[in-house]
Amino acid sequence: MAEPLLRIEQVCKRFGGLLAVDHASLAVETGRITALIGPNGAGKTTLFAMIAGFSRPSEGRIFYAGADITGSAPHLLARRGIARTFQIAQPFAGLSVEDNIAIGSYLSHRSRTDARAAAGRIAREVGLGDQLKRRAADLTLSALKRLELARALAIEPRLILLDEVLAGLNPTEIERMIGVIRMIRERGVAILIIEHLMQAIMGLSDNIVVLSSGQKIAEGAPIAVAHDPAVIEAYLGDPALAEKLHGGAAP
């Protein structure tokens, strides 16, 4: 099998006395969707921050496309093809949708006209085509989330890190978003997604990694993970979630 696009080896993150991520290892393949799930505080977003360069691992290495990228700066990683969305949407509030997306497009298009044209195409793909000139600050939550995604797509990434892009959306909006995510996968982009919505994750992912208290406690195909006793125990602190885990795995 080909070398995975992203490989995380025994990565740890310490904040003072707290070990937020504890020797986590995982791999993400090109053109596959890998989900990162786990109870709150499990260290998922911390892991994202380390992959995208916003936080330096205390221990361990991260490999991308065969190269060691541990501790690289975020903008350099973005230029190499790693994109991320933020858990709490961070648009450029004063700019229009078009200009928001264009910021990323500028990496491969020098002129404003070209960058905006590219931005327009991406906006239409995520369903924001009719709101190009609207100020980001005036968008609905669903539109904001799609904008986050669009901006990430604008840098033409090979790996995209999605942090709870479905949170706060209604069922129709979730369907639509899942459609977009699938479309991204069809393009051959590797996706690592943090999500709490179990039904969505079960149907969407090729591979699931479960994190609890900073440690990886399970990994595998969705069905296997759903029945893994360690996973169920981790979620016992949240019975509703355990219920959904099981419910979502039903064929």
Partner 1 sequence: MRGAAPILLPVALLAIVPVLTASNAVLNFLVAALLMALVGQGWNLLGGYGGQYSFGHAAFFGTGAYATAILQVRYGVNAWLAFVAGTLAAALLGTIIGALCFRSGLKGSYFALITLAFAEVLRIVASVAPITGAGVGLLIRLDLRPEAFQFQSRAPFYWIVLALLAVSLAAVRMIESSRFGAWLIAVRENEDAASALGVDVMRIKIAAMTVSAAITGAGGCFYAQYFLFIDAGIAYGPWISVEALVAPIIGGIGTVLGPLYGALAVKTLGELTKLLAGDAPGLDLVVYGSLLIAVVAFAPRGIAGTLLDWRERLRGRRAIAATGERSHG
Select from 103, 167, 180, 232 the one that contacts partner 1 (CB under 8 A). 103
CB closer to partner 1 out of 55 and 212: 55
Residue 15 CB partners (closer than 8 Å, separation 6+): none
Stretch that binds partner 1, among 15-23, 36-44, 74-82, 174-182 (CB under 8 A): 74-82
Stretch that binds partner 1, among 28-36, 149-157, 218-226, 227-235 (CB under 8 A): 149-157
Q: In what order do the strands lie in the sheet with 6-15?
A: 18-28, 6-15, 59-64, 67-68
Is 187 a binding residue for partner 1 by CB under 8 A? The answer is no
Structure tokens at 107: 């990496």
Is 95 a binding residue for partner 1 by CB under 8 A? The answer is yes
Question: Rule CB under 8 A: which of 13-42 touch partner 1?
Answer: none
* Of 25, 37, 2, nearest in space to 162 by CA: 37
How far is 166 from 144, CA to CA, in rounded Å? 11
CB closer to partner 1 out of 139 and 245: 139
CB closer to partner 1 out of 10 and 90: 90
How far is 173 from 196, CA to CA, in rounded Å? 16
CB closer to partner 1 out of 136 and 234: 136
- What b/e sequence results for 133-150 when a residue is b if at least 16 CB atoms lie within 10 Å of its CB, and e otherwise? ebbbeebeebbbbbbbbb
Stretch that binds partner 1, among 82-90, 190-198, 211-219, 223-231 (CB under 8 A): 82-90
Is 154 a binding residue for partner 1 by CB under 8 A? The answer is yes
- What b/e sequence results for 91-125 when a residue is b if at least 16 CB atoms lie within 10 Å of its CB, and e otherwise? bbeeebbbbbbbebbbbebeeeeebbebbbebbeb
**Which positions from 116 to 145 touch partner 1 by CB under 8 A, shown as an x/- string?**
---------------x--x---xxx--x--
Stretch that binds partner 1, among 5-13, 14-22, 95-103, 165-173 (CB under 8 A): 95-103
Select from 36, 47, 83, 209 the one that contacts partner 1 (CB under 8 A). 83
3-class SS at 103? helix
Residue type, 193: I
CB closer to partner 1 out of 28 and 115: 115
* Of 25, 31, 36, nearest in space to 5 by CA: 31
Residue 16 CB partners (closer than 8 Å, separation 6+): none
Select from 67, 71, 75, 223 the one that contacts partner 1 (CB under 8 A). 75
Please give the residue ranges that form the binding site for partner 1 (CB under 8 A): 52, 54, 73-75, 78-79, 83-84, 86, 90-95, 99, 102-104, 106-107, 110-112, 115, 131, 134, 138-140, 143, 151-152, 154-155
